[in-house]
């Protein structure tokens, strides 16, 4: 039907002005559109489901990236610095320096590995044991292993790195960030790939809704002709179809949230078990409120866009005569 | 109320629906357009309702030249008049009440006001007891009366009707005409296309006979009575949309 039902009286407080009449017309058209979808529950549900799955795909990929990033950030802050001291620094000086560094707020603790210890470890770990016996003096420097405190941010880590490097005793400061950077670079690529995929899926939603509305318009061609014949404008006949698109989009968005939520629920136990095996308290990050609203909003916008395109294209052609 | 000035309507196929027709209808008149099927009755009404535009000539309705009504103003233009169709063009997915209310909803009339006017219109065609029924439960005569109620619910000054009694038996036809007559008595201008000459004679209204798209010069009853053995109807011309 092109117009909302009117047989149920809508209570209008006092004398209804043009704005409230306009508002009531929209409300009744909106509810009428929902009622029409409800009269074909299976077909409507299928459309909503397709939209929901199409929205849930990029949304869940976004969650995967978001969680991966948060794990990555944890790793980054747990990295140790290896401060290789100059060869002429004595072990006593190294120990003194270690206790000085340990007093910093951004440092959790400092371990000193003497050149002798380092050589022993190297002998046993490298397999060059006997070959190294022939060395006349130990080529290795004393080393400080600096563990940053957990409160560090990316910025303060960079600062700490710089300051350790600027110490007169230090020769080289190493932090194994390369693989973390690679990890983030991979995440960036994935994020972009998901954005591209999400764009394509968005186009798919517009097409799906547009096609559904187009069929709806064709089925109600006669009714559109009659209403136009008795003076309905294009905007008037288009309105219920726009509301149909709105409901499809809204339903799809809500159901997408449901699908993502169910996916998280299904993953929660195994993730907790894995985290437990790593002695981690990691728990899966859910969509936050604004992300949820964004997903619903995108669904609604795409629904309106699809129905608008279909209505603009097909409605104009239906003229009485 | 209506001035037709030298109007010609040529269809894409080359047939001429109207050929240089001129006609004037005053406010408050009740006029019957008669003639064979294909004589141009429907074409004339379609030009007045702006479903078609004339190939040449002027159609002036209530002081407004239809040539100067742009496409996007057509809905507002049509809301100024009531239209009744042979096949009544009701919407079958909603009740009598909702069908009659449609023009008021389109015009954005408030709900309370609309409900009152819809009931008044349904009452005027004597169907108040059936306002909640669906069109498929009504008889042909009742359907046409619903169509009339929908046409007059927005209180138009002009009502045009294309073969409103075409599907009705004589008794029902007379009843429909009596309803039209009552609207005419309260000042509504009516333009009715019909071939039911016996019925029109009973009402004693002005008759405009058309023949081949122009005014018929010699108004001979015998000629018009030949209608039922009439020629084939030119395509795209016989149907009110």
Burial annotation A174-207 (CB, 10 A radius, 16+ → b, else e):
ebebeeeeebbeebeeeeeebeeebeebbeebbe
The shortest CB-CB distance from A7 to any of B77, B95, B108 is to B95
Question: Is A148 within 8 Å of A96 (Cβ atoms)?
Answer: no
Residue A231 and residue A311 share a domain? yes
Domain ranges of chain B: 1-80+160-241, 92-156
* CA-to-CA separations, A268 to A8, A71, A164, A290, B218, in angstroms, rounded: 48, 15, 41, 22, 93
User: Inter-chain contact B241–A233, Cβ cutoff 8 Å?
Assistant: no
Is this prediction's ipTM beyond 0.85? no
Which residues of chain A does B97 touch, with a Cβ-Cβ cutoff of 8 Å? 6-7
Residue A275 and residue A128 share a domain? no
User: Inter-chain contact A231–B75, Cβ cutoff 8 Å?
Assistant: yes
Task: Kindly report the number of other CB atoms within 10 A of residue B16's CB atom.
Answer: 18
Within-domain flag for A17: no
Which residues of chain A does B51 touch, with a Cβ-Cβ cutoff of 8 Å? 229, 319-321
Interface of B with A (CB under 8 A): 46, 49, 51-52, 72, 75-79, 83, 89-91, 93-95, 97-98, 101-103, 105-112, 114-115, 132, 150, 241
Instruction: For B219-230, write each residue's pLDDT tens digit.
Output: 444 443 333 333
**Under CATH, what is the fold of the domain B1-80+160-241?**
Rossmann fold (3.40.50)
Q: What is the CATH number of the domain that holds A88?
A: 3.30.70.3040
Question: Is A197 within 8 Å of B213 (Cβ atoms)?
Answer: no
> Residue length, chain B?
241
Within-domain flag for A12: no
pLDDT over 80 (residue B165): yes
DSSP secondary structure letter of residue A11: P
> In angstroms, rounded to a whole number, what is the distance separating the alpha carbons of residues B66 and B47?
8
| β-bridge partners, B10 | B16
> In angstroms, rounded to a whole number, what is the distance separating the alpha carbons of residues B178 and B184?
10
pLDDT of residue A121: 79
Residue A119 and residue A51 share a domain? no
Within-domain flag for A282: yes
Residue A189 and residue A133 share a domain? no
Residue of B nearest to A320 (CA): B241
Question: Which pair of tokens denotes residue B144?
Answer: 């046409």
Burial annotation A252-271 (CB, 10 A radius, 16+ → b, else e):
bbbbbbebbeeebeeeeeee
Which of A175, A204, A233 is where one domain is finished?
A175
Which residues of chain B does A31 touch, with a Cβ-Cβ cutoff of 8 Å? none
Instruction: For A183-230, write each residue's pLDDT tens digit.
Output: 888 888 999 999 999 999 999 999 999 999 999 999 888 889 999 999
Interface of A with B (CB under 8 A): 1-7, 9-10, 12, 16, 18, 21-22, 24-25, 223, 225-234, 236, 319-321
pLDDT of residue A260: 95
The shortest CB-CB distance from B241 to any of A4, A234, A321 is to A321
Burial annotation B182-191 (CB, 10 A radius, 16+ → b, else e):
ebbeeebbbb
Instruction: Please give, rounded to a whole number of angstroms, the shortest distance from the CA of A248 to a CA of chain B.
Output: 22
Mean pLDDT for the stretch of residues A106-134: 80
Within-domain flag for A101: yes
Percent of chain A with pLDDT over 90: 33
Within-domain flag for A292: yes
User: Inter-chain contact B105–A225, Cβ cutoff 8 Å?
Assistant: no
DSSP secondary structure letter of residue A140: P
Instruction: For B5-56, write each residue's pLDDT tens digit.
Output: 888 888 888 888 888 888 899 999 999 999 888 888 889 999 999 998 999 9
User: Inter-chain contact A3–B98, Cβ cutoff 8 Å?
Assistant: yes
> In angstroms, rounded to a whole number, what is the distance separating the alpha carbons of residues B81 and B90?
17
Which residues of chain A does B132 touch, with a Cβ-Cβ cutoff of 8 Å? 7
Residue A221 and residue A157 share a domain? no
List of residues 6+ apart from B215 with CB closer than 8 A: B21, B22, B23, B208, B209
The shortest CB-CB distance from B105 to any of A25, A228, A233 is to A25
**Burial (Cβ within 10 Å: 0-12, 13-18, ≥19) of residue A212:** buried
The shortest CB-CB distance from B98 to any of A7, A236, A319 is to A7
* CA-to-CA separations, A121 to A83, A113, A147, B32, B118, in angstroms, rounded: 17, 10, 20, 115, 98
Domain of residue A38, residue span: 27-74+182-315
Predicted TM-score of the model (pTM): 0.72
Mean pLDDT for the stretch of residues B95-102: 93
Question: Of A128-132, A147-151, A260-264, B57-61, which gets the smallest average pLDDT?
Answer: A128-132
pLDDT of residue B148: 93
* Chain A / chain B CB contacts < 8 angstroms: 90
pLDDT over 70 (residue B218): no
Burial annotation A138-163 (CB, 10 A radius, 16+ → b, else e):
eebbbbbebebeeebeeeebeebbee
* CA-to-CA separations, A40 to A6, A37, A216, B129, in angstroms, rounded: 21, 5, 12, 31
Which residues of chain A does B112 touch, with a Cβ-Cβ cutoff of 8 Å? 9, 12, 16
Within-domain flag for A10: no
User: Inter-chain contact A321–B52, Cβ cutoff 8 Å?
Assistant: yes
Residue A215 and residue A140 share a domain? no
pLDDT of residue A169: 85
Instruction: For A294-310, write each residue's pLDDT tens digit.
Output: 999 999 999 999 999 99
Question: Of A77-86, A96-105, B108-117, which gets the smallest average pLDDT?
Answer: A77-86
Mean confidence (pLDDT) of chain A: 84
Question: Is A202 within 8 Å of A294 (Cβ atoms)?
Answer: no
Which of A121, A144, A175 is where one domain is finished?
A175
Which residues of chain B does A8 touch, with a Cβ-Cβ cutoff of 8 Å? none
Residue A293 and residue A210 share a domain? yes
Question: Is B229 within 8 Å of B239 (Cβ atoms)?
Answer: no
**Burial (Cβ within 10 Å: 0-12, 13-18, ≥19) of residue A219:** exposed
pLDDT of residue B240: 39
Q: How many domains does chain A have?
A: 2
Which residues of chain B does A319 touch, with a Cβ-Cβ cutoff of 8 Å? 51
* CA-to-CA separations, A102 to A1, A83, A86, A153, in angstroms, rounded: 76, 13, 19, 18
Question: Of A73-87, A158-172, A306-320, B185-199, which gets the smallest average pLDDT?
Answer: A73-87
Which of A175, A208, A232 is where one domain is finished?
A175
Question: Is B85 within 8 Å of B240 (Cβ atoms)?
Answer: yes
> In angstroms, rounded to a whole number, what is the distance separating the alpha carbons of residues A205 and A137?
72
The shortest CB-CB distance from A6 to any of B51, B72, B101 is to B101
The shortest CB-CB distance from A232 to any of B75, B83, B93 is to B75
pLDDT of residue A214: 93
C-alpha torsion sign, points B120, B122, B125, B130: negative
C-alpha torsion sign, points A251, A253, A257, A260: positive
- The structure tokens 């603790």 sit at A109
> In angstroms, rounded to a whole number, what is the distance separating the alpha carbons of residues B36 and B213?
10
Question: Which pair of tokens denotes residue A302?
Answer: 């795409």
User: Inter-chain contact B241–A225, Cβ cutoff 8 Å?
Assistant: yes
Task: Kindly report the number of other CB atoms within 10 A of residue B99's CB atom.
Answer: 27
Instruction: Please give, rounded to a whole number of angstroms, the shortest distance from the CA of B239 to a CA of chain A.
Output: 8
Within-domain flag for A202: yes
Residue bearing the bigger pLDDT, B111 or A312: A312
């Amino acid at each position: 039907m092109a117009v909302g039902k009117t047989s149920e009286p809508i209570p209008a407080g006092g004398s209804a002005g043009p704005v409230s009449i306009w508002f009531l017309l929209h409300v009744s058209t909106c509810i009428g559109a929902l009622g029409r979808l409800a009269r074909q529950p299976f077909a409507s549900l299928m459309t909503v489901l397709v939209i929901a799955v199409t929205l849930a795909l990029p949304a869940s990929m976004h969650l995967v990236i978001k969680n991966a990033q948060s794990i990555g950030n944890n790793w980054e802050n747990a990295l140790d610095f290896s401060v290789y001291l100059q060869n002429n620094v004595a072990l006593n000086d190294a120990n003194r320096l270690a206790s000085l560094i340990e007093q910093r707020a951004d440092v959790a603790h400092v371990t000193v590995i003497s050149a002798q210890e380092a050589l022993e470890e190297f002998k046993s770990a490298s397999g060059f044991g006997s070959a190294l016996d022939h060395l006349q003096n130990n080529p290795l420097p004393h080393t400080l292993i600096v563990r940053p405190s957990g409160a560090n941010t990316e910025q303060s880590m960079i600062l700490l790195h710089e300051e350790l490097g600027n110490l007169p005793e230090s020769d080289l400061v190493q932090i194994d960030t390369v693989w973390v950077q690679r990890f983030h670079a991979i995440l960036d690529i994935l994020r972009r790939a998901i954005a591209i995929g999400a764009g394509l899926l968005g186009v798919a939603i517009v097409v799906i809704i547009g096609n559904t509305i187009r069929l709806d318009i064709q089925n109600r061609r006669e009714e559109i002709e009659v209403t136009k014949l008795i003076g309905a404008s294009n905007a008037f006949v288009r309105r219920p179809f726009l509301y149909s698109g709105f409901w499809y989009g809204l339903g799809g968005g809500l159901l997408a949230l449901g699908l993502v939520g169910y996916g998280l629920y299904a993953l929660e136990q195994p993730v907790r078990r894995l985290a437990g095996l790593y002695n981690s308290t990691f728990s899966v990050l859910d969509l936050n409120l604004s992300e949820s609203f964004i997903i619903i909003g995108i669904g609604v916008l795409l629904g309106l866009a699809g129905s608008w395109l279909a209505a603009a294209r097909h409605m104009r052609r239906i003229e009485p005569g | 109320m209506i001035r037709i000035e030298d109007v010609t309507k040529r269809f894409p196929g080359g047939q001429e629906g109207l050929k240089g027709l001129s006609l004037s209808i005053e406010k408050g008149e009740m006029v019957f357009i008669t003639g064979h099927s294909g004589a141009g009755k429907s074409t004339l009404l379609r030009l007045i309702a702006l479903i078609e535009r004339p190939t040449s000539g002027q159609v002036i309705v209530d002081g407004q030249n239809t040539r100067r009504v742009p496409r996007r103003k057509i809905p507002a233009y049509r809301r100024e008049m009531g239209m009744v169709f042979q096949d009544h063009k009701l919407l079958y997915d909603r009740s009598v009440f909702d069908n009659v209310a449609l023009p008021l909803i389109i015009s954005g009339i408030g709900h309370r006001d609309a409900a009152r006017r819809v009931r008044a219109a349904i009452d005027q065609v004597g169907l108040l007891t059936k306002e909640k029924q669906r069109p498929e439960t009504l008889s042909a005569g009742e359907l046409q009366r619903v169509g009339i109620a929908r046409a007059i619910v927005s209180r138009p000054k002009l009502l045009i009707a294309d073969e409103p009694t075409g599907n009705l038996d004589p008794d029902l036809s007379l009843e429909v005409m009596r309803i039209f007559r009552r609207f005419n008595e309260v000042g509504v201008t009516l333009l009715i296309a019909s071939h039911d000459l016996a019925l029109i004679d009973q009402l004693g209204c002005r008759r405009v006979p058309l023949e081949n798209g122009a005014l018929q010069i010699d108004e001979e009853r015998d000629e018009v009575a030949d209608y039922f053995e009439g020629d084939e109807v030119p395509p795209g011309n016989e149907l009110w949309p």
